[in-house]
Structure 1
Amino acid sequence: MTQKQSDKRSEQGRLNRCGGPFAAILSTAVACFQGGTPSLAAEPPVTGTRQTYAIAPGPLASALNRFAEASGVQLVYDSALTRGLKTQGLSGTYGPREGLRKLLDGSGLSARPSGQGSYTIEKTARDDSSALGGEMLALDKVTVVDNAEADYDPTDPYDKTYTVSDTFPATKTDTPIMETPVSIQVVPRAVMEDQKTTRITDALENVSGVRPQSSLGATGGFIVRGFRNPLIYRNGLMSIPSGFRSEFDTANLQSVDVLKGPASVLFGRTEPGGLIHITTKRALDIPYYSLEQRFGSYDFYRTEWDATGPITDDKTLLYRFAGSYQNNESFRDFGSNDRIMVYPSITWRPTESTDFTLNIEGLDQDYQGDYGVPVIGKRPADIPIRRAFGDPNDPLDNISRVLLGTEINHRFNENWAIHNRFLANFGHGDETFLNPTPAFGNALNPATGILQRNVFFQRYDSEGYTTNLDLTGKFRIGPTQHEVLVGYDYFRSFTQYRTQGFYNTPNPALAINIFDPSPSYGIDKAVFDSAVLETEFANNRSVIKDEWHGVYFQDHITLWDKLHIMGGGRYDWIETGRGRGSSFSAADKNLPDTIRKDDGFSPRVGILYQPWQWLGVYGNWTTSLGANNAGISATGKPFDPQTGEQFEAGIKTALFDERLIATLAYYHITKDNLLTPDLTTADPDDRVAIGRQRSQGIELDVTGQITDHASVIASYAFTDARITKDNRTLNGVVRGYEGNRLTNVPEHAASLWIKYDVNGYEAPEGWSFGVGGVLAGQREGDVENSLQLPGYVRMDAFAAYRLKVGPTRVTTQFNIRNLLDKRYYESTDPDINVSPRLGVYPGAPLTAVGSVRVEF
């Protein structure tokens, strides 16, 4: 069990004080006879959160009663199971699941979630029945549901709630969201399953202030609070060391989290807009198997699988194997995708206090690079969005990645623990495509529609290693409760990057008319083969080095259970460089001359006041530090590191019995030393720092359960992101971009997704319906603000039916994306492969997906 999974979720319920099944059956029968709702106790529900317990060692039955009274959870068990058993007691602050695990330690019993706010106590080595007074009773027939509580449980594969009360990236500890003075949003697994998302790009549409930033039609990064972010963190560690394009399939993901604002204090190299973090599935100690088949528009076929459970009878060795295979065409001409992802994981628990997890993730994707449509005037060209300007003979492109991760957790006692994580990343990219040429110039004649092209090839191979060591602890000094974190992390990566072909010199024989492209299709394969053997400039090979290590600390102080003060800081040592040459050996030789060493301190302070349990008012100040290793100047020298600073204030609420969490935030962020292509040189890798950018705005995020039937995830963002200082010059003249809006950032954006479960979200059978939409206002396509992408509203919907066939659950579902078949454009290329005027990526038209899922 990871630190993130340390249970701290709110629990509410009624207590079955008798502890036996007879009371449950009798009270249910009486309630049904009277026409009322079944109740297992006379007392009203008790609203609970993480509790501090002081239960002395002694009889287990008495301890369970005391635990239930304090926590408000409902316990269902056969009293014969606890007869004669003792417990070592419970001392400290726990959530219900962790507290029960501690109480039952050594008893041969375990607690199994059996409904909202209820747990069934049963033998760890499970019997088919238990004896009570000579009568055999099947506990599995007892169903207890408390409608006052709903909270996301990552250890329950059947959990369909949208409510999430805690998240790892905010503090790296088990502090609840409502007590954390930062803005953080979580997209749980249930949302991804309802929306049938296959990439994190689609999942992040549910979070305010986050926009996709595609490159070559694939995931190249995201924009968070106005700033581009190519980095993705996975289980606490950086997962894309080079920042190059990559994909993340959702089949093995448990959640996607976005920590808003600078997160350098805990994670080191991050962008000031925010941190995107994915949490993968963990091995469970209960058997679970799932197989799903999807099929849809554009010859879309996708198979997902998930299997987990114990390997040994004592459940000290667990496994999980998840993955997916997807094959589809595209609404774009010549577009296709063939992707497989496999994810085996194993967890070993040698003792109650120690666990070790090993996971491997392999992804291989063949696809067709696509730079979108060009711009005429100030808008995307008025041509069919299916029309692409590649070629049917263009070789397929490839992205592949292998991740090897480990995690060790050891708990010294109830309050202190140590955590170590390690991740090795091996990435590869190989792409050949017809490039608009010159890629950063006037490749298109808007009057004639003639687009000049040539063949271009790029390849990268990267390896990265990152690890950390965290010590977490809880203690009390006088009236103050402290939750502390002290840690160290280290990151090192090397990337080889090679380009071939032509990006600046057009081949007249490859020119194409964007209004009538058919006559230009069918380029001889030999043209591609010969082009990738030639190069247009001398320094076409690069070696990129990136090395970071830092120490950090954090203290979360609570006074009177209402005032939460968080303070911390981090000191980084950075070494970056990029050597270039006509060969990799020459680039290696030139690397030492480009090495730049930096260091810096990144603080974070925040305060949150809860006048009531359901309301919190907070504010924070934090900074960020990021190396500019992605580019070098025309003189071959690296740049000063990027720095960011944020001020934020907001309100958090937990409504409907703490099942719906909402965050309203105002922020102001500045970022210095941002890099952009140097248009004064012929080398596309040359960069220049434009000075300072500023982003400020208001964000609202709402996630959770309104009732047992209605679930919602929604967002709104007002973002004012601009260039406030520009140092670039061309021919001795200042470019004067001050005041221009940042690219691909809408001033107004929103999303809404509402689901209605006819029989309740926990019901194993019944209909579910959902409808939602994504809104984005007009966006600037480049820093010159010379082109605009029109605003749009996209509607989505789904319907599903769940039924049980014996012990098996079967779910059939039908999703429609872009229900109204609206034309819209997602983004421009971020000056990586082509000028923004030559690369605008359209969104998909109406797309339908059907699925059948079997779980047992």
Structure 2
Amino acid sequence: MKKIITLFLFLIIGITIASAQVIKGRVLDENGDPIASATVAIKELQKGVSTDESGKFRFTNLPKRELTLVVSFVGYNNNEKKVDLKNNEEFHIQFDMISNANLSEIEVFGERYKQPEKLDAITRMPLRPSEQIQSISVISDKVIAEQGALTITDAVRNVPGVTLFGSYGGVKESMSSRGFRGIPVLKNGVRMDSQFQTASGIADMQGVESIQMIKGSAAITQGVITDLGNAGGVINVVTKTPKFVNGGEVGVRVGSWGQFRPTFDVQSVLDKNKTVAFRLNGAYERKDNYRPVVSMDRVYINPSLEWRPDDKTSVTLEMDYLNDNTTPVTSTVNFADISTNALYDMPHSKFLGFENDNVNTKLLTYSARINRKLTDNLSVRAAYFNSAYNVDNTSTALDTINVYGAKDIRNYEDPRRKRTLGRSLRDDKNTTFQLDLIGQDVYTGTVKHTFQLGFDYRTANAQTKALESKFIDVVDVLNGKINNARQNVTFANPESIMPIISEYTTYGIMAQEVITFNKYLKAILGLRYSSISTLSATGKTSDAGRTENDAWDPSFGIMVSPIENVNIFGSYTTSTSLRSAALILTDSTLAGPSRTKQWEVGFKSDWLDNRLRFNFTYFHIFTDNLTNAEYVGTQPTGLYYKAGDLKRDGIEVELNGRILSNLQVMLGYAYLNARYDDSPSYVNGSAPMNAPKHTANGWVYYTVDRGPVKGLSLGLGAYYVGKRPVNEFSTQYDGHTYNPGVKPFDMPAYTTVNAQVAYTYKKVTARVFFNNIFDELGYNSYFRGGYINQIDPRNFAGVVSYRF
């Protein structure tokens, strides 16, 4: 290990920066005052920097050729100039910007020439998505506002192949991608829910600047697998930070089922030297539901502060707090066993729970980030993220009535269901620390290097308490009125319950490098060492049950650019799961680690002055050495056995951006072939639960930019989720199903169609949203856990906002 670190340090120290051309310049407004944080990009090199507080910028190590510089800043027209460096070692230039209050340089994927804010929290590299070897998608706040997205699912359905695995009663969002359930959902780089099966998130979109996703293996930056979905990708919800401008926006949204949602976003520069800026976002929301009793009440606040003491240093402090009360819902029941789709289309006038039902979620995240430029080519980045996720869940559970006289035979056709009321608590704390040395555009001769050498440390500590589950009554789902009245139930004192504790600590040392040999060829290399210590216990913790393991994960690939705006890539990465490594098999040996190996090939391309992006990816993912618990009948023996392998192949295609200056599109399609292979537990060729073969998304947004109705915009979206199995097709009892050998039915496919009409006049914008226009019936489900949740039926909302 020491030799590897020493080798990387010598590599960095030994790099000789070759002499090359330099451009220095300044960006000024119409009054001759400097513009800070303007983006200055070199078209031909796809390279960009930001101006400092004096409006100055600098490029070094440039080739001897003619280059095109483009300056952009929100509220100003783009300014473009050509410079000839063939005979000039140092070129000085000034840009005088002309304001345009109606201009916004934010695209559907973020800013054109810059890396999206905080993308380096999950990639650890200072590169734009098209320059990186991973498959990366970004949804900007521009899309969130235009579509009226209120949830993570609303936003990421614009990413091909990403679907909601389950909402667990409509109280959280657990996502799926590439056949993996429980893709980790982070907020500003730190996970919210460390439960390995769900890895879910909850967020208020008012504070979200973008949602970013790495699809497939992210082991180089995220470390060993701690969740079921790690190898399928990672989603990062990025909150808003100061932009060093004075202004803001207030708005109010009203909609179906009594929705009322006021919001605000205010930011200000706090000193005359423009070194400190503050931003504050907030929202309140309450609404009822198309079912009786069900409601939601939420408060959200998001302050942030950024300090730039000089042009080489930035310090950013953030906090994000959400307090949400939502009624958990079971939308339907299935009047047959798992082999048959007999889902009851339950009238909206019915609710199967009680007035007691409520899930209170409190989520607090905060972070501190420091970036320091050491030279024009070297910088240091340090970041600390922390989250506290607390859930108090009181909810109703339904169960079948067994066949009379038979203990284990369930009568699914009987419309009666037993109702119990239970309460559980979860206290989930997570931290992440990252430290990186970044080198960008460092030359050894004619070869350019961009590299990262980093360290990270993560902790997760979750304590759960199941207080009690009390039988209430038997209800006929089909016939008669359902009693929803509040029940006089007293649960056990939480202090008297011993918590179930699950915790881990993990650290990693990693190195990544992008080597640019010439304008046609790049090589991408990465290597990570990870160590993890895990503990599961009831009551007080001790080191007696602690296990420790480590793993190495490599990553490598090549990128070929036959023409300037097209990058063809191929890559290989691995991810390692150590969760089952210490389990004892039936032959008394240890299970050992499970590895996921991923191959990707495809291309990334930018068109129309980087306004439009078209990407294609083919992936092949192979996960080996799966394990399952051994049962005798329905009783576990405490031993485990090998459960075979999982293979996943597929394609993902996306077209995002502006085709015309006033016409933007987001189009995507994903095909997935996920199946078990060589498995004694599952039928070979069968797919994992909730893994649709086909998904598609489309969004078209047109703005009238001239004439008498200038400012009018129209948006239309359609989203398709294909059929998918509601459970694994098991060959033997696995602790989750009572009928092994029976093929589970497929949850039906569905398509939702949404529309938006907006009009902007000066600083006021009014929007009307039409959601699920054709009133499509669709479900998400964690079926074997008893959660079947209907997508919202047809609904409407209106928003009025004012910018200042």
Give your verdict on TM over 0.5.
yes
The one of 769, 791, 797 aligned to 1:843: 791
Q: Residues 812 and 641 of structure 1: is their aligned pair in 2 closer, same or farther, counting only changes over 3 Å?
A: farther
Equivalent runs, 1:341-356 vs 2, <5 Å: 341-356=300-315
- Per the alignment, residue 369 of structure 1 pairs with 328
Task: Identify the match of residue 198 of structure 1 among 150, 167, 189.
Answer: 150
Matched, 1:399 2:350: no
Q: 1:602 maps to which residue?
A: 553
Kept in 2, the 8 Å contact 1:652–1:662? The answer is yes
Pick from 231, 234, 237: which aligns with 2:187? 234
- Report the Cα offset of residue 450 of structure 1: 1.2
Alignment of 1:539-554 (within 5 A): 541-554=499-512
The amino acid of 1:757's aligned partner reads: T
Aligned partner of residue 221 in structure 2, secondary structure: helix
Deviation at 1:701, TM superposition (A): 1.3
Partner residue of 1:715 out of 656, 661, 668 = 668
Residue 412 of structure 1, aligned match among 369, 374, 378:
374
Hey, what's the Cα distance between the residues in 1 that align with 2:384 and 2:458? 10
Equivalent residues of 1:692, 1:724 under 8 A apart: yes
Structure 1 residues 101 and 350, CA gap change in structure 2 (3 angstroms): closer
Is the partner of 2:792 in helix, strand or coil? coil
Q: How high is the TM-score relative to the length of structure 1? A: 0.77
The CA distance in 2 between the partners of 1:342 and 1:145, in whole Å, is: 28
Change beyond 3 A, Cα 1:391–1:242: closer
Contact kept? 1:152, 1:164, Cα under 8 Å: no
Match of 1:173 among 125, 128, 147: 125
Q: Retained in 2: the 8 A contact 1:116–1:145?
A: no
Residue 815 (structure 1) aligns with: 769
- Specify the SS of the correspondent of 1:379: coil
How far off its partner does 1:273 sit? 1.1
Q: Which residue of 2 aligns with 1:653?
A: 605
Measured in 2, the distance between the counterparts of 1:638 and 1:494 equals 26
Question: For 1:197, what is the secondary structure of its paired residue?
Answer: coil
- Measured in 1, the distance between the counterparts of 2:561 and 2:443 equals 20
Q: Which residue of 2 aligns with 1:557?
A: 515
Q: For residue 298 of structure 1, what is the amino acid of its counterpart?
A: W
Paired residues of 2:252 and 2:263 also in contact (CA < 8 A) = yes
Question: Which of 495, 498, 501 is the matching residue for 2:468?
Answer: 501
Tell me the residue number matched to 1:744: 690
Deviations 1:639-676 (A, max 9, x none): 75543110111122222232110111110112245577
**In structure 2, what is the equivalent of residue 780 of structure 1?**
725
| Paired position in structure 2 for 1:312 | 271
Identical counterparts, % of pairs: 21
Change (3 A) 1:351 1:166: closer
Shift of 1:333: 3.8
- Contact 1:752–1:773 (CA under 8 A) maintained in structure 2: yes
Corresponding residue number in structure 2 for 1:87: none
2:416 and 2:641 map into 1 onto residues whose CA distance is 31
Whether the 8 Å contact between 1:237 and 1:467 is mirrored in structure 2 is: no
SS in structure 1 of the partner of residue 660 of structure 2: coil
Offset, 1:245: 4.8
Q: Is the 8 A contact 2:657 2:665 kept in 1?
A: yes
Structure 1 residues 670-694: Cα deviation after superposition (integer angstroms, max 9, x where no partner): 2245577887657999998744222
- Preserved contact between residue 129 and residue 137 of structure 2 (Cα < 8 Å): no
Distance 1:713 1:687, change over 3 A: farther
Q: Secondary structure at the match of 2:598?
A: strand
SS in 1 for 2:353: coil
Question: 1:493: how far off?
Answer: 2.1
Answer with 437-446 or 764-773: which moved more: 437-446
Q: For 2:248, which of 275, 278, 289 is the aligned residue?
A: 289
User: Following superposition of structure 1 onto structure 2, how do residues 364-763 of structure 1 map, counting pairs within 5 Å?
Assistant: 364-377=323-336, 378-384=340-346, 386=348, 390-437=352-399, 445-474=411-440, 475-502=442-469, 507=471, 510-516=473-479, 518-522=481-485, 525-526=487-488, 528-530=489-491, 532=492, 541-580=499-538, 584-585=539-540, 588=541, 591-628=542-579, 641-672=593-624, 681=634, 690-728=643-681, 736-759=682-705
Query: Are the aligned partners of 2:77 and 2:100 in contact in 1 as well (CA < 8 Å)?
Result: no
- Amino acid across the alignment from 1:367: T
What secondary structure is seen at the aligned counterpart in 1 of 2:155? helix
Question: What SS does the aligned partner of 1:218 have?
Answer: coil
**Could you say what secondary structure the match of 1:452 adopts?**
strand
**Cα distance, 1:705 vs structure 2:** 0.6
Match of 1:9 in 2: none
The answer to whether residue 263 in structure 2 is matched with residue 263 in structure 1 is: no
- In structure 1, C-alpha distance between the alignment counterparts of 2:659 and 2:321, rounded to whole Å: 38
Give unmatched runs, 5+ long, in structure 2.
1-18, 35-41, 59-70, 82-95, 730-742
Structure 1 pair 392/453, CA: closer, same or farther in 2 (3 Å)? closer
CA distance in structure 1 between the aligned counterparts of 2:758 and 2:627, rounded to whole angstroms: 47
The one-letter code of the counterpart of 1:465 is: T
Q: Secondary structure at the match of 1:272?
A: helix
1:339 aligned counterpart, secondary structure: strand
**CA-CA distance at 1:777 after TM superposition:** 1.6
With over 3 angstroms needed to count, the CA separation of the structure-2 counterparts of 1:412 and 1:224, relative to structure 1, is same
Q: SS at the partner of 1:458? A: strand
Shift of the 251–497 alpha-carbon distance from structure 1 to 2, 3 Å rule, reads same
Three-state SS of the structure 1 residue aligned to 2:530 is: strand
Report the counterpart of residue 39 of structure 2 in structure 1.
none
Task: Quote how far apart the aligned CAs of 1:234 are.
Answer: 3.1
Moved more, 452-461 or 705-714: 452-461
The CA deviation at 1:268 is 1.5
Residues 642 and 200 of structure 1: CA distance in aligned 2, closer, same or farther (over 3 Å): farther
1:764–1:803 contact (8 Å) kept in structure 2: no
Asked if the contact 1:364–1:400 (Cα under 8 Å) also holds between the matched residues in 2, the reply is yes
Could you tell me which residue of structure 1 aligns to residue 16 of structure 2? none
Q: Please, which runs of 5 or more residues in structure 1 have no aligned partner?
A: 1-51, 58-62, 68-74, 83-89, 121-138, 154-158, 729-735
Q: Secondary structure at the match of 1:400?
A: strand
What is the DSSP-based 3-state SS (H/G/I as helix, E as strand, rest coil) of the residue aligned with 2:231? coil
Does the 8 Å CA contact 2:765/2:802 hold for their aligned counterparts? yes
Q: Matches of 1:631 and 1:529 in 2, distance apart?
A: 41
Distance 1:77 1:53 in 2: 33
- In 2, the alpha carbon distance for the partners of 1:224 and 1:773 equals 19
Residues 482-527 of structure 1: CA deviation (Å, up to 9, x unaligned) = 001000000112211111323xxx84x51222212624433x522x
Report the Cα distance in structure 1 between the residues aligned to 2:131 and 2:186, rounded to whole angstroms.
Answer: 23
Q: CA deviation at 1:613?
A: 1.5
In the alignment, the residues of structure 2 paired with residue 415 and residue 212 of structure 1 have an alpha-carbon distance, to the nearest angstrom, of 41
**Residues 76 and 98 of structure 2 are in contact (CA less than 8 Å); yes or no, is this contact kept in structure 1?**
no
Cross-structure match for 1:273: 232
Native 8 Å contact 2:254 2:798 kept in 1:
yes
Q: How does 1:64-83 map to 2 (within 5 A)?
A: 77=30
Is the 1:53–1:93 contact (alpha carbons within 8 Å) kept by the matching residues of 2? no
Deviations 1:30-77 (A, max 9, x none): xxxxxxxxxxxxxxxxxxxxxx983477xxxxx55xx9xxxxxxx875
* CA positional deviation for 1:280: 1.6
Which AA in structure 2 matches 1:476? Y
Structure in which a larger fraction of residues adopt strand: 2
Structure 1 residue 727: Cα displacement? 4.6
CA RMSD of aligned residues (A): 3.8
What secondary structure, in the 3-state scheme, does the structure 1 residue paired with 2:142 have?
helix
**Letter aligned with residue 467 of structure 2:** Q
1:495 counterpart letter in structure 2: A
What is the SS of the residue equivalent to 1:486?
strand
1:315/1:470 CA distance change after superposition, 3 Å:
same
